[in-house]
Amino acid sequence: MIRFENVTKRYADGTVAVDDLTFEVAEGELVTLVGPSGCGKTTTMKMVNRLTEPTSGRIYVDGSDISEVDPVQLRRRIGYVIQQVGLFPHKTVLDNTATVPHLLGAGRAKARARAAELLELVGLDPSVHGGRYPDQLSGGQRQRVGVARALAADPPVLLMDEPFGAVDPVVRERLQNEFLRLQSQVRKTILFVTHDIEEAVRLGDRIAVYGEGRIEQFDAPAAVLGAP
Ligand code: ADP
Ligand code: ADP
C-alpha cells in the first residue's frame, strides 16, 4: 500500500533528513516509526502526503507514484493526525468532525450524522461532547476528535505523528487501547510516529527503528525486543 524506493531527503540547508530509505507497508498494516528526535521520522511522514518532496527516489501509495498525483487528491486519501491537533476553535466538536464529509459533498444533515458516528467510534458521546467547543474538552478528548476528523474522508491511509504525545501517561494508555480497538474495526494502513519504544511495541504490527535518517531494523515487536 505504501512503498518507498531509495528515498533521500536533503533540506535546502544541506541537512540529510532521510538517507536512501527503502521499505514497504502492507494494506491494513500498522507500522510504528520509533527513534530519537531528529532522525527523520516526521520527514518520512510528510513525504507521504507531499507536505515535503523527496530529493531523490520514488514513493508509491496504492500503486501510484505520488509525484504524479495531485496533492489535494492525495490528501483526501490520507488522514493526518499530529500531536497538537488543530481543531477549529469556533466550531463545535460535531461541526469540526462534519466539515470534511460536508466538503466531500454530503448534505449538512448527512455530514452531521456521519460525524456523530465517527465520534462514537473514537469513544466520545455525540450528545454530550458533540455540542462542546474544543477548549471545553480535555487533551485526550481533543486528540480523539482529531482521530475522528482524520477518519471522516474514510481514507485508506492514516499518518499519525505522536498523536498521544501531549497527554499524561494514564490517558495515553487508555487512548492506545481504544485506538487498537478502533484499528481492529477500521483496518487502515497506518504509519505511526512515536519516540516511545513501549508505545511502538504495543501498537505496531511491525516496528521501523530509526537512527540518523535510516531504518536500522524493520521487524515484528518480538523480534525488535529480542534484538541484542
Ligand atoms: P524526527 O521526526 O525523527 O524528529 P525530522 O524528520 O523532524 O526528525 O528531522 C530530521 C532532520 O531534518 C533533523 O536534523 C531536522 O533538524 C532536519 N529538518 C527537519 N525539517 C527541516 C527543515 N524544514 N529544514 C531543514 N532541516 C530540517
Ligand atoms: P481524558 O481522559 O479524556 O483526557 P480527563 O480525565 O482529562 O479526560 O477529563 C475528565 C472529564 O473532565 C471529562 O469528562 C471532560 O469532559 C471534563 N473536562 C476536562 N477539561 C474540561 C474543560 N476545560 N471544560 C469542561 N470539561 C472538561
**What pLDDT is recorded for position 117?**
94
pLDDT per residue over 156-212, tens digit each? 999 999 998 888 888 889 889 989 999 999 899 999 999 999 999 999 999 999 999
**What pLDDT is recorded for position 174?**
87
Which string of b and e fits 124-146 if b means at least 16 CB within 10 Å? Answer: bebeebbeeebeebebbbbbbbb
Q: Is the CB of 178 under 6 A from ligand 2?
A: no
Per-residue pLDDT of the chain (228 residues), as tens digits, is 999 999 999 999 999 999 999 999 999 999 999 999 999 999 999 999 999 999 999 999 999 999 999 999 999 899 999 988 889 999 999 999 999 889 888 899 999 999 999 999 899 999 999 999 999 999 899 999 999 999 998 899 999 999 988 888 888 898 899 899 999 998 999 999 999 999 999 999 999 999 999 999 999 999 998 865
**What pLDDT is recorded for position 46?**
96
| Ligand lying closest to the C-alpha of residue 14 | 1
Centre of ligand 2 from the C-alpha of residue 137, in Å? 5
Ligand 2, atom 12: closest residue by C-alpha: 138
Longest pairwise C-alpha distance within the chain: 56
- Is the pTM higher than 0.90? The answer reads no
Question: What string of DSSP letters covers 117-181?
Answer: HHHHHTT--HHHHTTS-GGGS-HHHHHHHHHHHHHTT--SEEEEESTTTTS-HHHHHHHHHHHHH
Centre of ligand 1 from the C-alpha of residue 151, in Å? 27
d(CA 163, CA 228): 29
135 Cα nearest atom in ligand 2: 23
Centre of ligand 1 from the C-alpha of residue 50, in Å? 15
| Ligand lying closest to the C-alpha of residue 191 | 1
**What pLDDT is recorded for position 6?**
98
Q: Is the CB of 143 under 6 A from ligand 2?
A: no
Centre of ligand 1 from the C-alpha of residue 15, in Å? 8
Ligand 2, atom 7: closest residue by C-alpha: 138
Residue pair 145/134 in contact by the 8 Å Cβ criterion = yes
